A and B are shown apart, each in its own frame.
Chain A
Amino acid sequence: MAINRRQFLIGAGGLAAAATTMGLGACAPGAPSGSQGGGEQGGATTLALAWWGNPTRNKNTEAEIQAFQQANPNITLAGQPGDFASYWDKLATQTAGGQAPDIIQMDMAYISEYGNRGALLDLEKNGADTSKFIEGTVESGKINGQLVGVNAGINSAVIVANPKIFEKAKMDVPDDKTWTWDQLSEVAAEVASKAGVPFGVVYLFGGDPMFGAYLRQNGKELFTEKDVGFEPADAQAWFDLMMKFQKAGGIGTPQQISEEGSPGGGKPIDQSAIVLGKAALQYQNSNQLEALNAASGESLKLLRAPSLAGKATERKAWYKASMLWSASAKTENPEAAVAWINWFANTKEAVDIDKAERGIPPNAELEEYIRPKLSPAQQEVAKFIADIKPELANTPIAPPPGGGKLAEIMFRYETEVLFGRATTAEAAEKFVGEVKSNLTV
């Protein structure tokens, strides 16, 4: 009796496992989806819409959903808000289960993971309209020539300055159109010692955009389509530059640097050094200015990244997508998903609600339309984005699959170097090796 039961149990366990395994296969692109949330009933469609954000963005997005539904009465959107860190765990699990949301707010670090594996819809083919987009803002969403993400807001890597700290040091905020990396090092060291703050500049070396800028000025890139775009020697030069900054006294002690962490992998933005008055300069994305101002109670200034040549026009700047809109390749109603993306990108109703919360609108007409309605900080960002147009070079491609962790790996090896546990040469060698070995192309 027990044996029969056992056989039954083992058999049933095997069945459950088989069902699971079949489920794993079912998520392969092109496989028919099960009971997807977006079922069509009598012409009316319900689509799931996932995004990450804080309560401000959540309120905005809910209002946008309302407005969109009014304009498109036969489409219902079911919102799935989340926070950035856990958003990706959830999305990966849902996608693996064949239940990805129809419309997905996407990030540059993940777009090729999903896009390269056939999980995202080709938007161009399904009628996405980016005809009014400012030059250089569409490319970020292209993977293997397919448009799988539509830029939802323009961003740029900047250095934010706290004028009060410069005042305290009796110094002028430096001229960002002519400064070089070496001058930045001098300024940082001087302002830190004169104003008595731990950091002249913080986050400069921990994030990949600044490394990317440095590489581009040296004729390299972070990534090529299928590989790492730089050599260990380039990484070593970057690490050496960091040590030069550190010895000059511009970026704090190793412990202080490690305590701040890297941008994104460190403290929340409202506890960052510049907010707490501990830093004169800080690397950030331009669309974070408003949050930084609110948290610090100051009005911070946006500065360009430095250049090798001392000429801003040669600094090889680019427009970054702060985030993108993608759609699941398995959505049952591609037209409806693209309808939302087009509505968000190209209508005044959308931009009236969103303003520049997700970044400066990439649609040139809407950018012009909305600029006077923006908050002072957002206006400053919009002006900055417009001002740097002559300094733009090509738009860098999204990191290939497995490349999204570059910044994290880089900061780890930088920490090794700072604490004297590795030379810059050793660290550079290992850093490049690890990034390469993570790529799955």
Chain B
Amino acid sequence: MTDVQTTLTEEPTLTGPAPQEAIHHRPTWADRTRSVLKHILLIVASLVMIYPLLWMLASSLRPTELIFRTPGLWVNDLYVQNYTEGWYALSYPFGQYIINSFIVVVGAIAGNLFACTLAAYAFARLKFRLRGLWFSIMLLTIMLPFHVVIVPQYIIFNQLGFVNTFVPLILPKFLATDAFFVFLMVQFIRGIPRELDEAARIDGCGHWKIFSRVMLPLMGPAIATTAIFTFIWTWSDFFSPLIYLTEPYAYTVPVALKSFLSATEGSNWGPMFAMSVVTLIPLFLVFLFGQRFLVRGIATTGGK
């Protein structure tokens, strides 16, 4: 560890791409077999990972009464009615719920990116009184199980008159209540060599400038991670929308999906799986494109 420390005290130039991409040499036979083996391994592993999705896809194309009586993934006749039926089976066309979810998700991402970066910069880089105490309190807030907080929280939002609006789902994000992301960003910032902002400070930059000009660009991967996770977790969050949104026009996707199911009265499995597939597409796309930012991150923003 010591040798790394000495390396780090030198002025680092954050320009190098990942080493494996940088080193060019003629591939040997050993390299090729290694690469082929790796891909085979990854493809087999991918199948294990993707199996439930394939099953869901297959189920979305089968009539409800055949879903649990047909083993395997092969679908003989594509029963696409599930998709049209599912879209119109609930009180509102399913697009309404997708739009609702999008509104909540976009608000949540904006909130988390705004508030968590600010709080994280303070915790990671600024020395202020009672910092340790505040930091401990922040961690404490994520240790308390959600189920005992929800009732008092509901009472607060109810008294503020925000029940059956998106406010209880979005406002907390603008107030950095997702301590997970604050802590995540703190760890990322603390991994960034202090020399960088120290240099800006010597140049006379204030904290706002250091934060916005130096830190934010360096935090690319952390910001991308936060955005992706916020998207996915908010998109699939069930309990909060369930409690706060009372009328069907305001339901988000997970609450709407639940309306297809009834353990005792019989469920519309086919349409439910069809709509699950539909609502999974944005998630998958967001990740597929979002993860590019994880790849670029520092390599593009640190310098050219």
Contacts and interface: CB of A to CB of B under 8 A. Distances in A.
Q: Do A and B come from one complex?
A: yes
A440 interface: no
Given A54-B267, A79-B247, A295-B65, A268 B261 contact: yes
Contacts of A62: 91
A58 B264 CA distance: 14
Contacts of B264: 84, 264, 269, 285, 288
A352 B36 CA distance: 67
Interface in A278-292: 285, 288, 290-292
B248 A23 contact: no
Per DSSP, are chain B's interface residues mostly helix, strand or loop, or mixed?
Answer: loop
Contact of B266 (A6, A58, A291): A291
Interface in B247-302: 247-248, 258-269, 271
A58 B68 CA distance: 24
Nearest to A263: B264
A97 B151 contact: yes
Interface string A48-68: 100011111110001000000
Interface stretch (A85-93, A120-128, A362-370): A85-93
Contacts of B271: 55
Contacts of B191: none
B84 interface: no
B273 to A, nearest CB: 13
B169 interface: no
A296 B69 CA distance: 9
Interface stretch (B101-109, B113-121, B156-164, B170-178): B156-164
A71 B196 CA distance: 73
B152 interface: yes
Contact of B248 (A48, A57, A81): A81
A262 to B, nearest CB: 12
B124 interface: no
Contacts of A6: 130
Contact of B151 (A57, A93, A264): A93
A50 to B, nearest CB: 8
Nearest to B266: A291
Contacts of B91: 58, 62, 79, 81
A275 to B, nearest CB: 8
Contact of A268 (B90, B154, B263): B263
Given A20-B155, A20-B156, A99 B163 contact: yes
A92 B147 CA distance: 12
A271 B161 CA distance: 42
A69 to B, nearest CB: 15
Nearest to A35: B161
Residue in A54, A80, A81 whose Cβ sees the most chain B Cβ within 10 Å:
A54
A435 interface: no
Contact of A83 (B128, B158, B262): B262
A83 B258 contact: yes
B246 interface: yes
B129 interface: yes
Contacts of A97: 151, 154-155, 158, 163
A90 B130 contact: no
